[in-house]
Amino acid sequence: MTLLEVRNLALQLDDKQVLGGVSADFKQGRVYAIVGPNGAGKSTLANVIMGLPGYTEFQGDILYRGESLKGLAVDERARKGLTLAWQEPARFEGLSVHKFVTAGAKTTNGRDLAAAALRQVGLEPARYLNRAVDKTLSGGERKRIELASILAIEPALVLMDEPDSGIDVEALDQMFEAIHRLKEKGSTVILITHSRTVLRQAEHAYLLCDGRVIDEGPVNRIGQYFENRCALCDHTNEPDPQEVI
């Protein structure tokens, strides 16, 4: 079943065309990747799908379970089952890890749920449950805690922006395990990435350049576009060699 349909999505920011007619389909219980060079529109697409402030005045449509998301605020989309994991996780002064992880969960046994979710991302509950989600935590720790919160609420659709940013190899392996655990439970996961390692976790990929989808297909084929070459298109910029995945 198709969970999310993006239909001819176009967006201008500061008089610049950032998205120029993007269309994509995302089926339930599958893992997708959206790849492309810096400035291609990858994170912008995720922000529009989530309905973040400043990204709501778009043309085209976004259908979730067959219903348009136009006009729905972020919290309304979250209640429908959409969530976004940030490239740089937020800090919440005064909010405990326990409360953060279980904030969106439908359970009365929150502490046990938080502990189980933390173990799944490699964090010892006794060390973290009562800590605050603030500057005393490293970026990698906050990223794991954010992932634990996603595991706890089991959303229908998860957008993950650069999930490997700021974490070590061990944490990355645990993140991949969590992604596949979400898939097994029926969640759709969309990975926004520059990394071939992250790309390989997906089953299907979309290649964006200059705000347009210029190709889609199996991840092995889409990944070939970043082996020291770029897809043929009318975009005048050359790819940055440091962005090769």
pLDDT digits (tens, 9 = 90+) for 100-144: 888 877 765 678 889 999 998 888 999 999 998 888 888 778 888
In sequence order, which residues have a C-beta less than 8 Å from that of residue 184 and are 6 or more positions away?
none
Give the class (CATH, top level) of 2-81+155-243: alpha beta
Tokens of 192: 């926004």
Residue 234: per-residue pLDDT:
57
| pLDDT band with cut points at 50, 70 and 90 for residue 241 | very low
The CA distance from 75 to 109, in Å, is 23
Tell me which of 19-28, 88-97, 183-192 is least confident.
88-97
- Domain extent listing, the chain: 2-81+155-243, 93-154
SS3 content of the chain, % helix, strand, coil (to 5): 35, 30, 40
| pLDDT band with cut points at 50, 70 and 90 for residue 44 | very high
| pLDDT band with cut points at 50, 70 and 90 for residue 47 | very high
Higher pLDDT, residue 235 or 76: 76
Helix (H) or strand (E) holding 13: strand 2-13
Higher pLDDT, residue 43 or 194: 43
Residue 93: pLDDT over 60: yes
Residue 226: pLDDT over 80: no
Find the mean pLDDT for residues 23-33: 97
Tell me which of 12-21, 52-61, 95-104 is least confident.
95-104
Report the chain's mean pLDDT, rounded to a whole number.
86
The CA distance from 105 to 154, in Å, is 8
The bridge status of strand 59-64 relative to strand 92-96 is unpaired
The CA distance from 76 to 237, in Å, is 38
- Using DSSP's 3-state secondary structure scheme, residue 153 falls into helix
